Chains A and B, each alone.
Chain A
């Protein structure tokens, strides 16, 4: 009878709960640390379209904005990477991030806008009042084109590379930190 072998195997089994609990505990600790650094974000969802070409769409221009409309053909082959920003006049965070977009536009980064679920008059009023960073503006009143992009809220900003591939999606208002830490390196990388 292998009495010598079985006690140690039993010992191993008895240690299993401790081992599992310890591993789970380490995981939870990593999550807590990640929560404060921002690395672990249970509420954020990555885009399913990263690395894929821009979805087909064709949006009419915003009346009175003095800018052409936006279609997927405009994002096919570009001289430099562009940003596509979904916004709405009723969206408070969009207002908060707006200065960042203005700044990027002044630096020469092409920014395209999509007015999501907004009355054209309101969307126009927004850029009249706060400034217009957009080279093109498409109006997506029913919000259907946005769903093809996998949008789930506004504001959302996408980075499209020169071949028309989506490389980055940021859900939420862009802050200066985002620009410095994430956007600029990507603009350089895909320049």
Chain B
């Protein structure tokens, strides 16, 4: 019964979305207040229907309803409850339900928090969001229905891939989708602006919070995925430039450019064309990622197994949404007139440089990701484009970005002189240079990590310099504290965001100094690395909810004093017939101690021990970046519209 209700809810959501898209567009075109007012309740209706479908699916998983084929393929009664729930979005079908749920949430959020938007814009945004929903709900109902039944019911499910039974991975898709689908809102804003034929400062102000929200969630989602790979896959890697990872990085880069570019539209009414394009691009890249992962054209550990027929459906959807949006762009963007004039050296100029570098990075990652596929198709050449390419190709773009990121926030609008800006950054440069020389002086540190430390020091110090400059900390220190309290949150958010990137670079540079040791140890023997001594005490059997494991007990000491006991495991999942390796990680925040258990032989066990300096700071930095985004978002100035719009509304009603 519940699966059928869920199925019905999906169909209901589709019908409501169809109504929403028609009513919203027609209403806005005719300026019919009644039709436009209907978009709010409709958005609520779509949300309720989609949430109902999602709840039905989760219910099926929780009760382990084996008459539902999706449950049979992806779940098992022995799975812990958390993973039964997260298993509902672990498959292609289930994850699509999550996708449309978040889309519906976005529609509800725009209806709920967008009270300050002019009704035509609100109606059009809702219509575009609903239009996207129509396509994907149709896709689900036609090709990927999670509520398909199987009869007679199987005795139990076939279990979920044990790698996916992990808290990190449980939350990775929701956060990621909040990012991907969050950019649908900025996409809708851009399309609405193009239809209306007007992009102005107010639009820039309205778009920014949605861009910030989507970007912050995407930052967290990507960071979580990377962290998960680090502790789960067992050799300390955290980013592989895998095509699916790149597919998440691309909207992040475009979204980063977008949220910076929107500031220029808001403050100076310039860069309109570029900002609208970025809004279209960010969601377009999200959709591209959806296509790549689910169509079968990619080989990747992340890709869902799929048949090309689904791929064609998604490709058609892409054609409609991206093609339609770019067509609209080509047709209407010419009408947008820039009014702000600025010198090349100015904050606008710095933001243009920011756009240029981020977009170039996105282009390089996009070309590198798609190249093997297209070279195979067009030239019949099989090549591999792996981490060596991406690292080499992105570095020359990333370095100027980090350098300029420091100077940009300190530049005034319209026209700046470089020397005063650099003067305010003198101590950041000194710290950077000092870090570089210090690292080179310490024996064994190569030039790559040393440059990384320098860049990180520069970026973090520059963020401090930005805040210090705004509160005149050094020039007029008496009232600095009061000024700091009065400093708008968006300023703190921006500085925090940039500092977060610096912290992340610090972590990356630290990982460049990582060392590891492979040793075959019998109980009682030890190995030394990074100043710590690892002694194997023994290996024992342990049981988990749905696995049995061999666990090694490793005592870690430093200069004779005990530090921690680590227990890496090799788990065996009988249902899925898989073994996984659970690394034992201990962090003292300055380094990660990382131990993996290998095969057992000759009475002992092979252990691989890593010493990863500053590793947690990679994800800490990402969290700080997302926090910066969140703090900016909480700034009321960012969310409330310009007063002129409110007065105009009042006059219109009079």
Contact = CB atoms under 8 A, between A and B. Distances in A.
- 5 shortest A-B CB distances, which residue pairs? A18-B326, A14-B330, A32-B308, A35-B308, A15-B330
B323 A18 contact: yes
B277 interface: yes
Given A30-B377, A32-B315, A14 B323 contact: no
Contact of B330 (A11, A24, A40): A11
Nearest to B326: A18
> Which of B327, B330, B334, B382 is packed against the most chain A CB atoms within 10 Å?
B330
A25 B319 contact: yes
11 contacts: A14-B330, A18-B326, A18-B327, A18-B329, A21-B323, A27-B374, A28-B295, A33-B308, A34-B377, A35-B308, A45-B382
Nearest to B323: A21
Contacts of B323: 18, 21-22, 25
Interface of A: 7, 10-11, 14-15, 17-18, 21-22, 24-25, 27-36, 40, 42-46
A31 B315 CA distance: 11
B297 A31 contact: yes
B297 A32 contact: yes
B406 interface: no
A45 B382 CA distance: 7
Contacts of A32: 295-297, 308, 311-312, 315
A140 B378 CA distance: 37
A40 B322 contact: no
B334 A11 contact: yes
A14 B280 CA distance: 13
B329 A42 contact: no
Given A17-B330, A42-B297, 4 more contacts: A11-B334, A14-B334, A31-B297, A33-B308
B616 interface: no
Given A14-B330, A31-B297, A24 B370 contact: yes
Given A25-B319, A28-B295, A32-B315, A14 B373 contact: no
Contacts of B299: 42-43
Nearest to A28: B315
A31 B312 CA distance: 10
Given A18-B327, A25-B318, A35 B382 contact: no
Contacts of B370: 24
B291 interface: yes
Nearest to A42: B299
A64 B382 CA distance: 41
Interface in B308-356: 308, 311-312, 315, 318-319, 322-323, 326-327, 329-330, 333-334
Interface in B117-148: none
Given A27-B378, A32-B315, A43-B299, A17 B277 contact: yes
A22 B295 CA distance: 18
B32 interface: no
B284 A29 contact: no
B298 interface: yes
Contact of A36 (B273, B277, B308, B330): B308
Contacts of B312: 29, 32
Contacts of A17: 277, 280-281, 326, 329-330
B81 to A, nearest CB: 37
B166 interface: no
B449 to A, nearest CB: 34
Nearest to B297: A31
Contacts of B4: none
B376 interface: yes
A10 B334 contact: yes
Contact of B291 (A18, A28, A45): A28
A35 B372 CA distance: 15
